[in-house]
A = this chain, B = another copy of it.
């Protein structure tokens, strides 16, 4: 379960998004006598339906300067920023969560080793356009050279490096090294600087992902800020999705507190989203805290009110960032929350939510606006089964006669029950169609076998997804 024990202390969202009322569809469906046509997104403009997710201002943490410049990691890129830098004016503490993929990219290996030695860093340097993954010893040298160039620019010590883009190719390292003094010279703390940073880490994302907030902690009236950027799943040959995220705050945190706080937040955010179930070689989410805003240091004590309050701020913040990745899922037309409750254990709840969230049958049904509860039930039913050859797992969480499945509309209207205690409801198809027309939807599975729960966020599976990932020449 995800405890919500603490009240939210003065969580204020200042970064107002510009609401757009343009249509939600980014692909065009045309009926032509028994065939359906669609078009892939064209150009680099932000799709009208996604503009509302890009803030026009924000409240950013003190003592951080950021920026992004064009260095042309991909030879044909001359316009999109592809080198980002985030620098703390004073040495700050950092923690990071890395991919569990067994084939880890060079920047993952480098940054993991760096943080093992010391949690104190000064900067994060990120390039897009090339993932520096499966690049052997030379790739590790490139990652180290990036960090050294950044250290040299900041005069400090300790730079986390991240890369995202093409796998299996070496970085154009000289271009990046030459770019470091340039990006450093242009750093700043304005909204535009943060937006440039968010843009520079994008690959095939259709919009930059940036959030900022202010908050207070119970022990003082000091106003803190937290800001972060992430990039998500966009793969066009020969790219590979690599989720990256950086979150920076000016709150003072005990160095030892960062890792548990970040892990708690990531498990409930970046580790609870899926586009297609593929976990990349480069996934990295880092948290930086420089304490520049002053006040009492948040101790590494999970019982401390300040710790509890910051944990909630960070977890909600990370979830909000992670959801932006799902909103920009390849070809996605829907944003779907999968909530599994009343499970015998949180791990079971997570596995069931994850299985439903990944099922191609569920995801294509959502795309087709089809209230196909049978597929949701089916995914639930096979979520805990074992491979042949493996001992059969006990599955106390799943009991057909206590299982309930509902659609929960996001417009505040009543839930639509599809399955009640294992018995199908006579579904009001008109009502189901109304709910499925909404861009946002929650699928609620109540297992009736315990008190644990988990939430996943996913998107639908569209023709566009296949086009983006299959049409290698486009």
Q: Give chain A's interface residues, CB within 8 Å of chain B.
A: 28, 30, 32, 34-40, 42, 99-104, 133-134, 136, 167-168, 235, 237-238, 240-241, 267, 271, 276-281, 346-347, 350-351, 354, 358-361, 364-365, 367-370, 372-375, 377-382, 384-390, 392, 395, 398, 400, 403, 419, 422-424, 461-463, 465-467, 469-472
* Contact indicator B280/A235 (Cβ below 8 Å): no
Q: Which of B34, B276, B424, B467 meets A36, CB within 8 Å? A: B467
* Contact indicator A103/B380 (Cβ below 8 Å): yes
- Bound together, the chains give a CA A277 to CA B375 distance in angstroms of 12
Residues of chain B within 8 A of A365, CB atoms compared: 237, 469-470, 472
* Contact indicator A354/B103 (Cβ below 8 Å): no
* Contact indicator B346/A389 (Cβ below 8 Å): yes
Other CB < 8 Å A-B pairs besides A238-B372, A350-B389, 9 of them? A100-B392, A101-B378, A134-B377, A237-B370, A240-B374, A276-B360, A364-B470, A365-B472, A368-B469
Name which of A346, A365, A390 has the most chain B CB atoms within 10 A of its CB: A365
- Bound together, the chains give a CA A225 to CA B229 distance in angstroms of 65
* Contact indicator B30/A35 (Cβ below 8 Å): yes
- Bound together, the chains give a CA A100 to CA B393 distance in angstroms of 11
User: What is the CB-to-nearest-CB distance from A198 to chain B, in angstroms, rounded to a whole number?
Assistant: 25
| Given contacts A38-B35, A471-B368, A279 and B382 within 8 Å (CB-CB) | yes
* Contact indicator A387/B347 (Cβ below 8 Å): yes
Q: Which of B32, B102, B372, B422 meets A136, CB within 8 Å? A: B422
Q: Which residue of B lies closest to A397 (CB)?
A: B102
| Given contacts A101-B382, A374-B240, A377-B103, A37 and B35 within 8 Å (CB-CB) | yes
Residues of chain B within 8 A of A241, CB atoms compared: 361
Residues of chain B within 8 A of A360, CB atoms compared: 276-278, 360, 461, 465, 469
Residues of chain B within 8 A of A361, CB atoms compared: 235, 240-241, 276, 278, 469
A–B pairs, 27, beta carbons within 8 Å: A34-B39, A36-B37, A36-B471, A101-B378, A102-B398, A103-B400, A103-B403, A134-B374, A167-B378, A168-B374, A238-B372, A240-B374, A241-B361, A267-B388, A277-B358, A278-B379, A278-B382, A347-B389, A350-B387, A360-B360, A364-B465, A364-B470, A367-B470, A368-B469, A462-B470, A463-B467, A463-B470
User: What is the CB-to-nearest-CB distance from A48 to chain B, in angstroms, rounded to a whole number?
Assistant: 18
| Given contacts A103-B381, A360-B278, A361-B235, A466 and B463 within 8 Å (CB-CB) | yes
Residues of chain B within 8 A of A387, CB atoms compared: 347, 350-351, 354
* Contact indicator B278/A470 (Cβ below 8 Å): no
| Given contacts A281-B378, A374-B240, A100 and B134 within 8 Å (CB-CB) | no
* Contact indicator B373/A168 (Cβ below 8 Å): yes
- Bound together, the chains give a CA A403 to CA B472 distance in angstroms of 25
* Contact indicator B469/A466 (Cβ below 8 Å): no
Residues of chain B within 8 A of A42, CB atoms compared: 34
User: What is the CB-to-nearest-CB distance from A353 to chain B, in angstroms, rounded to a whole number?
Assistant: 10
Residues of chain B within 8 A of A369, CB atoms compared: 472
* Contact indicator A271/B388 (Cβ below 8 Å): yes
Residues of chain B within 8 A of A35, CB atoms compared: 28, 30, 37-39
Residues of chain B within 8 A of A354, CB atoms compared: 387
Q: Which residue of B lies closest to A97 (CB)?
A: B388
- Bound together, the chains give a CA A82 to CA B167 distance in angstroms of 50
Name which of A364, A374, A395 has the most chain B CB atoms within 10 A of its CB: A374
* Contact indicator B347/A390 (Cβ below 8 Å): yes
Q: Which residue of B lies closest to A271 (CB)?
A: B388
* Contact indicator A400/B462 (Cβ below 8 Å): no
* Contact indicator B359/A278 (Cβ below 8 Å): yes
Residues of chain B within 8 A of A30, CB atoms compared: 35
- Bound together, the chains give a CA A349 to CA B190 distance in angstroms of 52
* Contact indicator A419/B102 (Cβ below 8 Å): no
Residues of chain B within 8 A of A465, CB atoms compared: 360, 364, 466
